[in-house]
Amino acid sequence: MFHAHGTKMKDLRIRPPFEAAEIERGEPFEFNFAGQPVTAYLGETIGTALTAAGITTFRVTRQGGRPRGIFCGIGICFDCLVVVEGRLNQRACLTPARPGLEVQPQAGAGHLEPEFGD
């Protein structure tokens, strides 16, 4: 569920010739998501790197066990929650990816619980 669909395809990053502003990303590196290495470039969020790799499910919901990923993309909806280095409820769409980060899909939460945050 937390894996890429259609592996072996090229990633979803926008690259020349479609890069009008000729943006150069920062340095590439890897972090871990659900125990698998994921490539990211400095400046990308965790959500971006997962999206680029074709991974769309970041967590499952508390009651229905439903898969969820990026929804609003701007930090409003709290759908893309992941566990970053043991911290719960981190929004993948806003949290910068960093080399070696341990990121786990979040099971549950999505409401104000005592374990929220640090």
Partner 1 sequence: MLTPEVEIFEVDIAIVGAGPAGLAAAREVSAAGATAALLDSYSRPGGQYFKQPPRAFRAKQPGRLHHDYLLPQTLFGVVAESPRLTLLTDTTVWTAYAGPEGFSLHCYRPDQGGLEVRAKKVILAPGAHDRALPFPGWDLPGVMTAGAIQTLAKSQRVLPGRKIVLSGSGPFLLPVAALLAESGANLVGVFEAARPRDIFRYSASAWAGRAKLGEGAGYLRVLRHFGVPYKFGRAVVRAEGRERVERVSVARLNSDWSIVPDSLETLEADAVGVGYGFSPSLDLSQLLGCEHRYDPVQAASFAVHDPRQQSTRPGVFVAGEICGIGGSAVALPQGAVAGLAAALDLSRVPARPDDTARLAKYQAEARQAQAFAGTLNRMFALQPGWQTWATPETIICRCEEVTLGRVRTAISEFDLKNVKAVKLTTRCGMGLCQGRVCGPLVIAYTASLTGRDPAVIGSFTNRPIVRPIPLGELAR
d(CA 52, CA 39): 9
Strands 102-107 and 81-84: antiparallel
Torsion angle, CA of 67/102/78/28, rounded to 10 degrees? -100
Are 42 and 26 a contacting pair, CB within 8 Å? yes
Q: Report 21-40 residues binding partner 1 (CB under 8 A).
A: 21-27
Question: Phi/psi of residue 23, each to 5°?
Answer: -75, 135
8 near partner 1 (CB under 8 A): no
86 near partner 1 (CB under 8 A): no
108 near partner 1 (CB under 8 A): no
Residues 50-79, one symbol each (x = binds partner 1 by CB under 8 A, - = not), give -xx---xxx--xxxx-xxxxxxxxxxxxxx
Q: Which residues contact partner 1 (rule: CB under 8 A)?
A: 1, 5-6, 9, 12-14, 17-27, 41-45, 47-48, 51-52, 56-58, 61-64, 66-79, 81, 89, 93-94, 96, 109-112, 114, 116-118
